[in-house]
C-alpha cells in the first residue's frame, strides 16, 4: 500500500459518499474499509529499502524501518517516522557506508515486523538493518 495524500483521500471519500447516496448502499470493497484500518491501527511503519556499499563490503539491499504509535494524526505520525528514517540514513552515510541509495519506500499501518516479512516474500535477498523507534524524541 502506497501512501495516499490527504487531497487524494478527500477525493476518494467524496466519490464513495456520492456513489453511496446515489445507489442507496455502500459498495462491498469500500474505501472506508481501508481508511478505517489505517485510523484504528495502533502503529505505523515507514520503511526504506537501501543499497549500502562500502570499501570492504559488497553491495547489499537492507530494510531500514521506523515504527511510530498512531497517536496524534496519521499524517503527523508518518512525518515523524520518515524524519527518523532520514536521520538514521544520514548517520549511516556519514559514518559507515558510502552514500546510501534508496531503492524503494513503503508506509503501512501495521507493525514493522509484519511489514518486513511481507517485503521479505517479495525480495528474498533483503536484510533487516534495524527497526527504529520513532516515538523517542531526539
Considering the domain architecture, whether residues 69 and 137 belong to the same structural domain is answered as yes
pLDDT of residue 39: 53
| Same domain, yes or no: 19 and 53 | no
**Number of separate domains in the chain:** 2
For the entire predicted model, the pTM comes to: 0.67
Q: Is residue 100 domain-shared with residue 86, that is, in the same domain?
A: yes
Could you tell me if 36 and 47 lie in one domain? no
Give the residue carrying C-alpha cell 533487516: 128
Co-location of 93 and 133 in the same domain: yes
Same domain for 112 and 79, yes or no, is yes
pLDDT of residue 40: 61
Residue with more model confidence, 71 or 62: 62
- Domain limits at 138? 42-138
Identify whether residues 76 and 20 lie together within a single domain.
Answer: no
> Same structural domain for residues 33 and 58?
no
- Looking at the structure, tell me whether residues 47 and 85 fall in a common domain: yes
Report d(CA 138, CA 18) in Å as an integer: 44
In angstroms, the CA 58 to CA 49 distance is 16
Per-residue pLDDT band for 95 (boundaries 50, 70, 90) equals confident
> Does 95 lie in the same domain as 137?
yes
Amino acid at each position: 500500500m502506497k501512501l495516499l495524500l490527504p487531497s487524494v483521500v478527500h477525493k476518494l471519500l467524496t466519490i464513495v459518499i456520492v456513489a453511496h447516496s446515489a445507489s442507496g448502499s455502500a459498495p462491498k470493497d469500500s474505501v472506508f474499509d481501508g481508511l478505517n484500518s489505517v485510523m484504528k491501527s495502533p502503529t505505523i511503519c515507514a520503511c526504506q529499502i537501501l543499497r549500502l556499499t562500502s570499501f570492504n563490503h559488497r553491495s547489499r539491499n537492507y530494510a531500514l524501518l521506523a515504527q511510530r504509535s498512531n497517536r496524534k494524526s496519521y499524517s503527523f505520525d508518518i512525518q515523524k517516522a520518515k524524519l527518523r528514517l532520514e536521520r538514521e540514513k544520514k548517520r549511516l552515510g556519514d559514518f559507515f557506508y558510502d552514500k546510501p541509495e534508496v531503492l524503494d519506500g513503503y508506509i503501512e499501518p501495521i507493525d514493522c515486523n509484519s511489514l518486513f516479512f511481507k517485503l521479505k516474500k517479495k525480495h528474498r535477498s533483503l536484510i533487516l538493518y534495524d527497526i527504529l523507534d520513532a516515538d523517542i524524541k531526539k
